[in-house]
Amino acid sequence: MKDSELMEKIVSLAKRRGFVFPGSEIYGGLAGTFDYGPMGVRLKENVERLWLQMFRDSRDDMYGVDAAILMNPKIWEASGHVSGFSDPLVECEKCKKRFRADHLDDKEKCPECGGSLGDARQFNMMFKTHAGAMEDDSATVYLRPETAGGIFANFKSVVDSMHPKLPFGIAQIGKAFRNEIAPRDFIFRLRELSQMEVEYFVQPSEWEQAFEEWRKMMHLFAEAVGIPQDKVHELEVPEGDRAHYSKRTIDFEFDYPFGRKELWGLAYRTDFDLSAHANASGAELSYLDEETKEKFIPHVIEPSLGVDRTVLAILASAYREDDMGGETRTYLALAPKVAPVKAMVSPLLKNKPELVEKARDVRAELQKVHPAIAWDDNGNIGKRYRRQDEIGTPFCVTIDFDTLGEHPELEGTVTLRHRDSGEQERLTVAEAADRIRSAIE
C-alpha cells in the first residue's frame, strides 16, 4: 500500500468509526481544527491517563497544575513569544495565497499558480483576542501557544504551597493554540492542539543527568502506548534550528505515512524562562537550598509531547489489513491499555432471551475488571467482530448454547476471540476476565 493511500485509509476509518471528525464539518469545516468523536475521546483520554501515571503520579517529585489558557500578556513578552514565536511567511503576488517559506522547495515560484513570490516576512503564530469590553491594545490577550507558560507562571505558587525539594517537576496537560500558516496532514499540524508537558527543575550542574532520565522515559512512553521503537528516531537539533530558549533539543521523530516528522521534543531550557519572568515581574523566582543556604534560579528540562501527534502515531502504527481469501479484514492492533473498548460481549443470537440474559450477566462480571466493555447484538457475529476490529477492541466474548449447558462439560464457558490472530479460546468467565485484566495492566 502506498503511504498516501494509508493516510487516506486512516482518515476514513477515523471518521467512519468515530475517532476523529473534521472540525465544524456541517459548516464546511475550519482549517487546522478537528474534533474527537466517541472512540477518539476514549483513546485520547487513555493516552493522557497513561502519561499522567508515568510522568506525574508514579513519582514523588512531580506536581500537577491546570493553569488558565488566558494569561497576562506580559508572560508572553517575557518568554520571548511576542517578539520571536514566528514562522517565515511568503505571499504570491498573483493569486495572493500565503505559504510557509521554509516548507517550499522553490522559494521564488507559487506552488499553486506559478506566480512570483514576494519576500519572506516573519508571521507571529499567537492568536490574539481581547479581554473585557475594550477592544484596544490595552486589552490584548493571547491564547497560550504552549502549556509551559502556565507552569513557569505557577512555579512560585507551587514552591510556596508544596515546599518541594529540588529536583522536582510540574506537569500539565492542556490546550495550546498556534495560528499555523499551513495546517496540514490531518491531526499532525493543527491550530488548536493539546500538549502534555513537564518542566523539571534542577540544580544547574545536574541538567545532563535529568535530560537523560526524561529521554529514557519518553521511549518508555512510546512503548507503553504502542508506538514501535523502530519507527521513533532521535534528531539532535542543531543550534540554528533550536527554539530561542533552548541550549539543547532532541526531536523525537516518527515515521508518519507522509514522512519522518517531529512527534515530541525534549529541551534543556536552562534558566531562561524563570530568569526572564523574575526580571519582568519582579517576583522572587529563585530557589533556596535549605541545607547549603545557596539561592539560585533552577534550570529546566522539558519533555513536551503533543497529544494529537501521539494519537496519529498510534493510529498509523496500529492500522492493519489482512487478506482473508479475497476479502480484506481491517483492524487496529492497538495496545490494550489505550484501546477505547477493552472487550465486546455479545449473545450468539439476540432473539434468545436466555442467551441475552446470560450475556448481560457476563458483561457485568467483566465490567468489574474495566468499565469499557461494550455490548453488541446487531447483525451476525462476523459483522460484530469486524466492527470491533476496526476500533481496535482486543477481545470479543460470545455467549452461546454451550455457555448455558447444551454440552454439560462446557456449561459456564464462553468463547474469547483475540483481535490480531482471530483465534478463539473456550474459557470460564473468570479466566476470560483474567485474560482481559492481564492485557490491560
Ordered DSSP codes for 191-248: SEEEEEEEEEEE-GGGHHHHHHHHHHHHHHHHHHHT--GGGEEEEE--GGGS-TT-SE
Cα 286 from chain centroid?
32
Contact 287, 295 (CB under 8 A): yes
Q: H helices within 17-69, ranges in order?
A: 38-51
Q: Which is nearer to ligand GAP, 14 or 362 (CB)?
A: 14
Q: How far is the CB of 312 from ligand GAP (least distance, A)?
A: 9
- Least distance to ligand GAP, CB of residue 197, Å: 6
By the criterion CB under 6 A, which residues form the site for ligand GAP?
146, 148, 178, 180, 189-190, 193, 195, 197, 262-265, 302, 304-306, 308-309
Q: Find the helix packing angle between 353-366 and 429-440, rounded to 10°.
A: 40
Please say which residue, 92 or 305, places its beta carbon nearer to ligand GAP.
305
Q: CB nearer to ligand GAP: give 264 or 395.
A: 264
Smallest separation (angstroms) from ligand GAP to the CB of 169: 14
Residue type, 295: K
Q: Which is nearer to ligand GAP, 146 or 271 (CB)?
A: 146
Q: What is the DSSP secondary structure assignment for residue 400, as one 8-state letter?
A: -
C-alpha cell, 392: 481496535
* Of residues 198 and 359, the one with the C-beta less far from ligand GAP: 198
| Cα 81 from chain centre | 23
The nearest distance, CB 211 to ligand GAP, in angstroms, is 15
Closest CA to 6 of 182, 225, 186: 186
CB of 210 to ligand GAP, least distance (A): 16
Q: Which is nearer to ligand GAP, 264 or 331 (CB)?
A: 264
Q: How buried is 12 (Cβ within 10 angstroms: 0-12 exposed, 13-18 middle, 19+ buried)?
A: exposed
According to DSSP, residue 35 is labeled E
Q: How far, CA to CA in Å, does 161 sit from each of 64, 103, 291?
A: 12, 46, 19
Minimum CB distance to ligand GAP smaller for 126 or for 399: 126
Least gap, CB of 50 to ligand GAP (angstroms) = 16
Distance CA 170, CA 148 (A): 9
CB of 345 to ligand GAP, least distance (A): 36
Residue sitting closest to ligand GAP (CB) = 306
Pairing of strands 373-375, 395-399: unpaired
Toward ligand GAP, which CB reaches closer, 312 or 381? 312
List residues bridging with 425 in a β-sheet: 416
The span from the CA of 154 to the CA of 71, in Å, is: 11
Q: Whole-number minimum distance, CB 78 to ligand GAP, in Å? A: 15
Nearer to ligand GAP, 148 or 153 (CB): 148
Q: How far is the CB of 126 from ligand GAP (least distance, A)?
A: 12
In whole angstroms, give the CA distance from residue 130 to residue 110: 35
